[in-house]
Amino acid sequence: MIILPADPLAMPAKERAEAAAALLSKLRPWASEVDLHFSDTPDFVDCGGNFVSVFCPFCQTDIVEWWAKEMDAWYSGVDRRRLAIETPCCGQVTSLNDLDYVAPQGFARLAIEVMNPGGDLEPEEFRQVEEVLGMPARIIWRHI
């Protein structure tokens, strides 16, 4: 389970990120590890073996082949903060972060990885994590 800010450019204070990691350790004491990853620019946080495809959030067209080329361009780009794209199917403006990933994936400057958490967070637990981070968050499930 990977917790990241919903806004791919957001970065909570280091103390807040550390407090969120500590809270996750407390909420999931059986997890094998809880790690923090910081980056100056957004990193792509993938779902590993859970990946199925990528769809346009507007018309639901499968755009996985186009997305793969966009990701290659993003990885080799000068400005890794630039996530804005125009969908190839219906020409709508959105971001790489806001495409419909099956399973969920995203971009973030902070990722809190919880290895073997034993299940999803309860809604109240997730609310607590967001409160400690000081911002909305999202969860990515990565199958290794």
pTM attached to this predicted model: 0.94
> What pLDDT score was predicted for residue 105?
98
> What pLDDT score was predicted for residue 127?
98
Whether residue 118 is found in the same domain as residue 92: no
For residues 1 and 139, the answer to whether their CB atoms sit within 8 Å is: yes
Average pLDDT over residues 61-88: 95
The pLDDT confidence band at residue 95, using thresholds 50, 70 and 90, is: very high
Whether residue 117 is found in the same domain as residue 132: yes
In tens, the pLDDT along 24-45 reads 999 999 999 999 999 999 999 9
> What pLDDT score was predicted for residue 78?
81
Q: Tell whether 45 is covered by a domain.
A: no
Residue with tokens 């059986």: 30
Domain span including residue 77: 52-102
Coil vs helix vs strand at 107: strand
Whether residue 6 is found in the same domain as residue 20: yes
Average pLDDT over residues 59-77: 96
Q: Tell whether 46 is covered by a domain.
A: no
% pLDDT > 70, the chain: 100
Whether residue 118 is found in the same domain as residue 95: no
Question: How far apart are the C-alpha atoms of 10 and 81, rounded to whole Å?
Answer: 11
Whether residue 120 is found in the same domain as residue 86: no
86: CB partners within 8 A, 6+ apart: 92, 93, 94
Element (H, E) at 73: helix 64-76
**For the chain, how many structural domains are there in total?**
2
